[in-house]
Amino acid sequence: MNIRRDCLFYAAFLTKRYTKAHPSSSIATLPTQGMEESTLMDIEAKQNALGGGAINEKPRVYNTNNDPIVNGKDRDISSNSWNPSDELSHMLHALVGLDRYPNYLSRFQQFSDINSLEKALEARLSDVRRQKSEIAERRADIRQLVRGYILSESEGDLGKDSYNCSELWCDHPLLSPPKTWTELREKKVLTDQAFKVCYRSIDSTSNARKAKSKKRTNSLPTLEDIIHGKVQVHLDPSLLEEWMNQEMYDVYSFPLLTNEFCSLLRKTVRELSILAESDEFSHLQFGRRPIDLDTIGLGWVTDLLFHMFIQPLSLHLFARTEKLVDDDVDLGPSTLDWRQGYVAGYSSDPKEYEGTQRHRLVPHTDDSEVTLNCCLGDEFKGGSVEFYGLRGTPREGHFVGKIDRPNVGTAILHSGRNLHAVSNVSSGDRYALIVWSRSWSHTRLNTCPCCCLNRRQDSTCICNRRWN
Ligand SMILES: O=C(O)CCC(=O)C(=O)O
Ligand SMILES: [Fe+2]
């Protein structure tokens, strides 16, 4: 099936249709338009003090039980046993509300209520500190693990412990980050088709720029700039049709990684998991969870896929549906600005020491705006990716279609809120590289993460009815 033309060109159509003549920001519609920024801020502050923020500082007495409904549940109003620190909304307010409402705590009539809030926050803070030091220790141990693995492969000297994990790979013949387009090709990371789509798009964009600026210099962005997100990649829609398939509504697939690279990633994850079984590292329980590429120093793979493919493809395919841009503005640059890449392992006989954690995966949505899922192999039966419709739409929960695996190196791109599952792996081992991408600067800017994920617009969330 070919990718739907209307989807790919929808964005371009809207770009033409809407102009910047409709500013959406409320501040732009104030009669004060054009004033110095500081003046506007002064006015805003004054408005908040008079009729905005301060109105929210109405006194509240929490432990006299005059509010029988908390978190949507009936309270036992005959008991005097609850306090504001039990309420998530107050805890959240104490974190962010103190700035927004400078007199926030004045609404607490009882000093004991403030004490209880303070205690609860201190307990949280000590949890944060404990987790922080555990994470630092874990990361240092994983660095040692990776160092031991590379050393055993290379017989070389990797220097002192001051190296961070990604630096450990810098001399690795295959897994060091490619610096040039030629190196990327030679390392056989991307399929020929994926390389061609990206290289040709970038070449034609930079040629167009060159012609515009009448400069003679070669302005092809370096691969390093792309991996580090210094350059925004635009993929030419005319090249995408040949490369991509639309598998079902809102789910796309395309050959992305070579067999060689998939097998290298698989082997690395597997061997690291085996090495982590040794007494020195067994406390890490390394293979118990999917293996994050950043943690093992291979975050460049995630960066490459994110900047080269996920960001630009999402602008073509998910800009409006995932609210990556406003309805009434140009597409502009991608607002996907966060990514996490990990390798998940499945097996008919899961073994943590081989990095396989499960037989299957239950239907779920991802905490991402857009997810890329690339099959790394190995030889297995079962393990199809099944889709059950977009959360927040009438299709939610109904089987829409499935993509059979293994098709090593083939990636699927779907919205994170598209319910999906992995069916039982009935024989062999199955690995997948998953990249979750989020838009903190846009989609999630003013939304509670759980409401955003669940597309909730009712009052069932703590952040909604109870927030103020
Ligand atoms: O393994 C797969 O194909 C899907 C994994 C997945 O959905 C997830 O990790 O969120
Ligand atoms: Fe998922």
How far, in Å, is the centroid of ligand 1 from the Cα of 267?
A: 19
Q: What pLDDT, on the 0 to 100 scale, is given for residue 126?
A: 97
At 3 the pLDDT is 40
CA of 434 to the centre of ligand 1 (A): 6
Q: How far apart are the CA of 281 and the centre of ligand 1, in A? A: 26
Q: Which ligand has its closest atom nearest to the C-alpha of 364? A: 2
pLDDT of residue 45: 52
C-beta 420 within 6 A of ligand 1: yes
Q: Note the Cα 241 to chain centre separation in Å.
A: 26
Say if 91 falls within a structural domain: no
Q: What confidence tens digit (pLDDT) does each residue in 382-395 have? A: 999 999 999 888 88
Look over the chain and give the mean of its residue pLDDT values, rounded to a whole number.
80
CATH of the domain at 352: 2.60.120.620
Which pLDDT score is estimated for 387?
Answer: 98
Residues 6+ apart with CB under 8 A from 119: 85
Mutate to test the pocket of ligand 1, among 343, 372, 419, 434 (most ligand atoms within 8 A of CB): 434
Residue 421 CA, closest ligand 1 atom number: 7
Q: What pLDDT sits at residue 224?
A: 96
Domain annotation covers residue 76: no
What local confidence, expressed as pLDDT, does residue 378 receive? 87
Distance from Cα 332 to the centre of ligand 1, integer Å = 30
Q: Look at residue 467 and tell me if it is in a domain.
A: no
Is the beta carbon of 422 within 6 A of some atom in ligand 1?
A: yes
- Other CB atoms within a 10 A radius of the CB of residue 335 amount to 24
What pLDDT was estimated at residue 70?
Answer: 45
Please work out, in degrees rounded to the nearest 5, the angle formed at the alpha carbon of residue 183 by the alpha carbons of 182 and 187. 120
Pick out the chain residues at pLDDT < 50: 1-37, 40, 43-44, 47-57, 64-81, 465-468
pLDDT at 187: 97
Complex ipTM value:
0.99
Note the pLDDT of residue 34.
Answer: 41
In the reported structure, the alpha carbon of residue 206 is separated from the centroid of ligand 2 by a whole-number distance in angstroms of: 35
State residue 415's pLDDT score.
96
Q: Which residue segment(s) compose the domain that 386 sits in?
A: 173-454
For residue 423, the ligand closest to its alpha carbon is 1
Query: Strand (E) positions, 308-424?
Result: 338-347, 361-364, 370-377, 380-382, 385-390, 401-403, 410-415, 418-422
C-beta 410 within 6 A of ligand 1: no
Q: For residue 202, what pLDDT is reported?
A: 92
Whether ligand 1 lies within 6 angstroms of the CB of 432 is answered as yes
Distance, CA of 76 to CA of 80 (rounded, Å): 9
- Determine whether 73 is exposed, middle or buried from the number of CB atoms within 10 Å of its CB (0-12, 13-18, 19+): exposed
Residue found under tokens 């055993």:
152
- Please report the pLDDT score of residue 227 as a whole number: 97
Tell me how crowded residue 417 is: count the other CB atoms within 10 A of its CB.
26
Look at residue 210 in the predicted model and tell me its pLDDT: 64
Q: What pLDDT score was predicted for residue 116?
A: 83
Is 443 contained in some domain?
Answer: yes
Domain count, the chain: 1
Look at residue 29 in the predicted model and tell me its pLDDT.
28
Q: Per the domain annotation, does 208 fall within a domain?
A: yes
Is residue 392 a part of any domain in this protein?
yes
